[in-house]
Structure 1
Amino acid sequence: MSDRPKSMSASAFWIAAWERAMQTDLRVSDDTEEEKFWEEYAPMYDESNPLAPYTEALMDAVYSHLAPDDHLLEVGPGTGGFTQLLAPKVGKITLVEPSASMYKAFYASWQKTGYLLPAVLAEKWEDVEGIHADVLFCANAVYRIRDMRAALLKMNQITKRHVFLIQSIGRPFAGPLTLSWNDQLYERERAIAISEILDELAIQHSYRTFPVERKNGMTHEVALIHWKPRS
């Protein structure tokens, strides 16, 4: 088993792996199926699979770059675990959350915080237009994006100061990209593929991993990908 075909770019591999996954998992491309999943799973997400509470060292690396007057755009906030950590560090937050069920869970959790409710764009990242922010933050929310090159380029274009992408590594918390090609199976961790696509775009970035012990006692690596956008 190899990482990816030598003749295939990281961005092309991402699309090919997405199209392969689409054939076996309706959630990958079908918005209705994705929403059905979150209707059932969102209310119990914080009980079964929270990540934010276990990322102190990782988040300290993020906090050091934030300013009190920053406008932060969070893509895929889920139930708001990371949003609640970020809220005291910035001046304003806007959310990008296409799932009504997940936002319902976010709202229920947020009501307990006492913070001002962030504005929300109820659409997929690919469809977002007309917004700019000082900082962009996204944790484990890019699994349904087909064209990662375009998605990263868009993040770079709309953000003024910092982009932070958090991506879990390894099963069962994050399955790798997989592709059968010329009778060979290829696998690539999403975090590594994202870093390679940024290289394709000539976007200088840092790639750091942090060991995170989850609620069930399992320890795995979580990547923090960070860059400063350039015009």
Structure 2
Amino acid sequence: MNIRRENECQIKAATSALTPSEYWIQAWEQAAAEDVRVGLDAEEEKFWVLNAPAYDERNPLAPYTQALMNTVYGMLSPGDHLLEIGPGTGGFTQLLAPYVHEITLIEPSQAMYKELCGSWPVGDRPLPEAIITKWEEAPELKADIVFGANAFYRIRDMKASLLKMNETARRHVFLIQSVGRPFAGPLRVKENGQVTERERAEVLSGLLHELNIVHTYVTFPTRRKNGMIHDVALIHWSK
């Protein structure tokens, strides 16, 4: 255990000359070479067919984000059309629904969307329309709000995806990203025999700086279902 902690410290202390966009792509490519789920859509869907039914029982995030979501609610309007990227089983979708007029979902997994439909409150607001596709392949859309939570781990070109979010949103973009293991593994890159790690939330913020998109980055200590506390980042910008 001590050796492992020392190695992790050495890894985290390492630096990289790559820009955030270069780092994200290189991390994706190296992860895809090691894990078929990263690069192959069919393998990702196989995983969720097996695991989606138990997803909300294990350690969901949405029910434990009241302080963070209060910040989001304060910038929503009752007439808003909200587009959510990667809603999964719909934990955040259900939190957002009472505060907006309409929600459109972009969800790549049919298995996850099936769980969302099964857990949607009967007799409550209408089930949101869903487009079953990856964000990178979604048609051009317009919405007042773009929202996504922990939905970016399979996106290769995150810079292009952020630009697409910016073009889609009329008013606000909100991105939520868990920080730290075991809830969110960092991006890892091996270059010149050295391994570096960067938290996804920090690289997302760095990408926005590359794009000259002025944004806020705030973290909220969050106690999860299993009692563990970690930071959850809220990255937000206005149009």
TM range (shorter): over 0.9
Aligned residue in 1 for 2:78: 68
- Identity, % of aligned pairs? 59
Of the three residues 16, 23, 39, the one matched with 1:5 is 16
Structure 2 distance, partners of 1:168, 1:50, is: 11
Q: Structure 2: which 5+ runs fail to align?
A: 1-10
Q: 1:28 to 1:69 in 2, by over 3 A?
A: same
SS at match of 1:18: helix
Given residue 131 of structure 2, which amino acid in structure 1 is its aligned partner?
L
SS of 1:23 mapped into structure 2: helix
Inter-CA distance 88–70: structure 2 relative to 1 (3 Å threshold): same
Structure-2 separation of matches of 1:154 and 1:90: 22
| Secondary structure of the corresponding residue to residue 49 of structure 2 | helix
**What is the deviation of 1:19?**
0.4
Equivalent residue number for residue 7 of structure 2: none
- Cα distance per residue 1:98-153 (max 9 Å; x no partner): 10100000000014362111111111000012210000000000000000000001
Q: Work out the CA distance in 2 between the residues paired with 1:178 and 1:9.
A: 14
* CA distance in 1: counterparts of 2:108 and 2:45, whole angstroms: 9
- Residue-by-residue CA offset, 1:164-220 (whole Å, 9 max, x unaligned): 000000111000000111111100000000000000000000000001100001000
Q: Does 1:19 align with 2:29?
A: yes
Per-residue displacement from partner, 1:6-31 (whole Å, max 9, x unpaired)? Answer: 2x110000000000001111000100
Task: Provide the TM-score with structure 2 as the length reference.
Answer: 0.93
CA distance in 1, matches of 2:121, 2:134: 24
Q: What SS class does the counterpart of residue 34 from structure 2 fall into?
A: coil
SS of the counterpart of 1:66?
Answer: coil
1:91 aligns with 2:101: yes
- Aligned equivalent of 2:185, options 172, 175, 190: 175
2:4 maps to none
1:52 is the counterpart of 2:65: no
Where does structure 1 lack aligned partners over 5 or more consecutive residues?
A: none
AA matched with 2:16:
P
Higher helix proportion, which one?
2
